[in-house]
Amino acid sequence: EFKNNIDEKQEQNRNNHESSLSKRQRVLIVDDSPLNTKVLEQSLSGDYDVLVAHSGMKALSIANSTEPPDIILLDIVMPEMNGYEVCKKLHLNQSTKELPIIFLTSLNQADSEEYGLKLGAIDYITKPFSIAIVKAKIKNHLALKYYQDVLKINTDVDQLTNIANRRRFDEMLSIEIKKSKRTGSHLSLLMIDIDHFKLYNDTYGHLEGDECLRKVAFILKSTLKRPGDLAARWGGEEFTCLLPDTDNKGAAKIAELLRIAIMDLRILHNSSPVKKVVTISIGAATSNPSDEASYETLLRHADDALYKAKASGRNRISI
């Protein structure tokens, strides 16, 4: 039953990216006048999931939620926070800066439009508007947004395991190294390698081998709980975990959690001399905030530690 549970969750994980693309797209309408939002909501809700905000603050909170919109229709003249301000704030934030914004406003001077477009809005429609034109524009912009999302998934996600790929890991590692230098915080990195995986392939075949990689990836990803943590496929049967704000004690604790979690999966590996189930070895490295942590030294330390874990018997962690 435990195994079925894992298979099911893993299946959900596999479909996660695809389903996030096949879901109905979401349109956020921002306007202080409920009368305006009502008209738009009625004419758009047949094709899209429509979200409504009657203030700039509310719009920002929806855009930053776990279910952000795919496009925003943004009024400009609103009390408290106007549409230009909302647009600027969205663009300053990493997670919302790529959301397409269409201004929908009664400000019909050329310089208002120029200013809005220079702030990064993809379009500018003046009131009174033709609902048919608004709908056609939304449709076109959402088609572009869809391909942007497809591209993002293909550049960041490993096709076999559906966790972050090497490119994504490299990118996050350099970002986190800069951050740890700036803030003086510890940054830890785990290098993980499946034990006797060649023997696993030889015994069960490459397709079973691939399935095993998917299971291991899924467990690594779901065992990491902190929002900044990242599990990635480094290549072949090797994985990495990036652990921001984590010292060597914390890293050792998480490495041990991961080691146990994989062993507890009980994926049969009859020809392994270590155990009769699939196990992993882990090398951990932590940047010392006082020295110059670099990409190469962190990786080299983790690699050296992994080598030690392998040499001293496998199914263990080394720092």
Q: How far is the CB of 75 from Mg ion (least distance, A)?
A: 4
Among ligand GH3, Mg ion, none, what binds residue 198 when CB lies within 5 to 8 Å by partner kind? ligand GH3
Identity of residue 213:
L
Q: Could you confirm whether 237 is annotated as catalytic? A: yes
- Minimum distance, C-beta of residue 76 to Mg ion, in the bound complex (Å): 7
Cβ nearer to ligand GH3, comparing 62 with 212: 212
| Cα–Cα distance, 205 to 187 (Å, whole number) | 38
Pick what 89 binds: ligand GH3, Mg ion, none; C-beta below 5 to 8 Å, kind-dependent: none
Phi and psi angles of residue 27, each rounded to the nearest 5 degrees, phi first: -115, 125
> For residues 232 and 239, what is the distance between their CA atoms, to the nearest angstrom?
6
- Residue listed under structure tokens 């740890």: 180
Nearer to ligand GH3, 244 or 283 (CB): 283
CB of 310 to ligand GH3, least distance (A): 5
Distance of CA 14 to the CA centre of its chain: 14
* Nearer Cβ to Mg ion (123/193): 193
User: Residues interacting with ligand GH3, by CB under 6 A?
Assistant: 160, 193-199, 201, 206, 209-210, 213, 236-237, 310, 314
Catalytic residue among 8, 237, 256, 296: 237
94 Cβ partners below 8 Å, 6+ apart?
none
Residue 50 contacts residue 142 (beta carbons within 8 Å): no
282 DSSP 8-state letter: E
User: What SS3 class is residue 196?
Assistant: coil
Decide: is 197 part of the binding site for Mg ion (CB under 5 A): yes
Nearest CA among 68, 77, 124, 76 for reference residue 97: 68
Residue 237: burial class (beta carbons within 10 Å; 0-12, 13-18, 19+): buried
Number of residues that make up the chain? 319
Nearest residue by C-beta to ligand GH3?
209
Instruction: By CB under 5 A, tell whether 32 contacts Mg ion.
Output: yes
User: Among ligand GH3, Mg ion, none, what does residue 213 contact (CB within 5–8 Å per kind)?
Assistant: ligand GH3
> Using CB distances below 5 to 8 A depending on partner kind, what does residue 259 bind out of Mg ion, ligand GH3, none?
none
The minimum distance between CB 34 and ligand GH3, in angstroms, equals 55
Phi, psi of 129 (to 5 degrees): -115, 160
Q: How many DSSP H helices and E strands does the chain contain?
A: 11, 10
Provide the terminal-to-terminal Cα distance of the chain, rounded to the nearest Å: 35
Residues 100-159 contacting Mg ion, CB under 5 A: none
For residue 146, the minimal CB distance to Mg ion (Å) is: 29
Task: Select the binding partner of residue 77 from Mg ion, ligand GH3, none (C-beta < 5 to 8 A, by kind).
Answer: Mg ion
Q: Which stretch binds Mg ion (CB under 5 A): 12-20, 45-53, 193-201, 257-265?
A: 193-201
- Residues identified as active-site: 237
Residues at the interface with Mg ion (CB under 5 A): 32, 75, 77-78, 193-194, 197
